[in-house]
Amino acid sequence: MRRFLRKALKKKALFVIKAAVTTPVTKKPKDVRLGRGKGDMKCFAAVIKKGTIIFEIYTNNIAFVSLILPQIFTKLSFKSFIFCKHKR
């Protein structure tokens, strides 16, 4: 997601990813009997609870970002929405 955001926004906006990838995920190989320990580490995952802000995008051009955000939502595996906070 970070690579997609950087490529789409280029230098027109600054973004911050608030999700920390800290939980290791383990997986045993196929055809292994029960027991014999936990298994090798496969990857890392982020535990994100409902209502958590994942991305913060800082820009003056809101119209440009509103065109890119629906593309980002299609790549996520859960429902998401845009929360816009204007500084006045």
Answer yes or no: is 57 within a domain.
yes
Question: In this structure, what is the dihedral angle of CA atoms 58, 60, 65, 67, given to the nearest 10 degrees?
Answer: 170
Answer yes or no: is 83 within a domain.
no
Which pTM value belongs to this model?
Answer: 0.62
Residue 11: give the domain boundaries.
2-27+38-75
Please tell me the distance from the alpha carbon of residue 74 to that of residue 1, in angstroms, as a whole number: 11
Answer yes or no: is 12 within a domain.
yes
Q: Which two tokens stand for residue 73?
A: 């939502």
Percentage of residues of the chain with pLDDT beyond 90: 7
Q: Which amino acid, 65?
A: V
Answer yes or no: is 86 within a domain.
no
Please tell me the distance from the alpha carbon of residue 1 to that of residue 22, in angstroms, as a whole number: 16
Answer yes or no: is 20 within a domain.
yes
Cα 14 to Cα 33, 55, 78: the distances in Å are: 49, 10, 23
Average pLDDT over residues 18-47: 87
